[in-house]
Structure 1
């Protein structure tokens, strides 16, 4: 399958080279072996968006999306998605020595950071957070909990979104094993990712560990939600591409009645339908990536379209691929289950298709926008 950059895309040659190198590196690794921070940092993946003064590449989310897409295509295991969220969160904060040190540590692979925030797509217009900050005498005390925090069991550092007594958002940065925090692993069917619950119980935090969001808080929170959603959409797009490539290859070698099954019309039609859905996903995801990278004011609508379609399509494509593989597709040896499990989790992660469709509908239906407060706000 020939892949081309969207018309008018800048740095198309750079993206093509980055895609090729990333695909080659991930293909040489065992599917069951996690891609460690040292390897990811050596390839420059972790520091793509980190400013150059902090040992990063100073690139944009467009380059990050290229790697995320290949990460999904290879069904890679590792903490790359959580690193992307951590870098994005740090870039939303007011510059401070602690923030700058954390950016450098992420870029060089010295720290694995988990971000705990409200991952519901319907909450993307809210500055609400799973943790609360309050004064207790001269101390600042943190309490609250967050479930299904990506890579929380593996992290050595946490970024916790909290709301202070004035209702303003803040991000608390602390070591993962700080006394007063509890981590509980939350196993899922998808074994390529790690999630955990984080609980803070009356934890005293130093003033230097409390960071404020730069600019309008609601806009910053929205950008983080959009970033998380389109990151998963890129992963699902890569999954779809990998599934279709594997299915076409299998259909060309598996024979029945003396002919490759790919020569049968029903199989051709099924693969063509998969390609159509994949092509739509590709256009929607590319549009969302461009808007997120440019901090476009209407990026949320493009993200909602991409997330709702690409993640739902990936599940359908994986299911069809399993059918086309026949009985072999239902075995562990085929590896199709890895795509299906991850695609199913992606569909619900950081907003279900239904939640993101509500965001889109709010743009066109004023009644939805005003009555629910969950629609798009101009």
Structure 2
């Protein structure tokens, strides 16, 4: 871990621009399609490589040195290119950074879901950056270092900005704050609990969405928007006023970090609990105790049934909840000894076929919102469960229970 810490301190101290995301299956090539590498939004490429932002020639490009600090491999020459053939009779109009090099961890399917940081060394005169330093997290411990500072990095989230601000622990604007919500006055004085935010958010959910898969994705987005707004109200003025001492800064940074971690740990479970009830799945227990004082996220149909020697073991179910499942899925294997088929709900955007095979052989069945299925390798999509499928199956299984 010392190497990762040292790398973070180094890029925070220099004039680096950070781009952070979790690698999707499309990024790494795990979906099996022809890939050109990690997607970088056009506005970031434009900011870092301004010389290609023109239509005077077809597909202008420049090269920059790509160094990977997290893995031992030679540097490569990445290519920043503006595909602008829309202005030359074609249809394409996008900017990308490609050619990360053969064997790059950015294009290893086994790194699907890994938290990844790209540190671009900005030109102080506003010209093109000459290089990028890459760190692909190789363990949950490394990911925890980042998320303990800036909060949960969910699949699909793109974070960018000066490294010193992001790694300082108090940067608030990873995504634009939506100010359309008229939050309760009491929240301006005291930060609400996760349950309170979700209850308030219920009045803003999309009315046309009636399936649990669509509802979950929509509700998580709205709840997170509200959380960011409340956080801004509680922290922004303090940051603007500055700090009288290092201790004051650290105290606030720790408070923000702890709150973000607390929200990340409970938000998804709370949304699922609400959706189970709304869609007629009444028989479940949260944080029930099993062998060795283990506490699976959801146990079906109840804790009493699990501990009843007369209840058929084949009718017991467990659902673990992990925003991302790379490496972390092994943590759930021994949470309920009587259950052979473990269900795991995740928002991860794909897994490699090798990762999926290992999960399946360990008795893990993935439950994934329907909209994310296309991000998984085609060979495994038919074996994924939607949230709707999971709910319907369990309602039928426990239909005779009182």
**TM-score, structure 2 as length reference:** 0.24
TM-score by length of structure 1 reads 0.25
More helix by share: 1
| Larger RCO, structures 1/2 (Cα 8 Å, 6+ apart) | 2
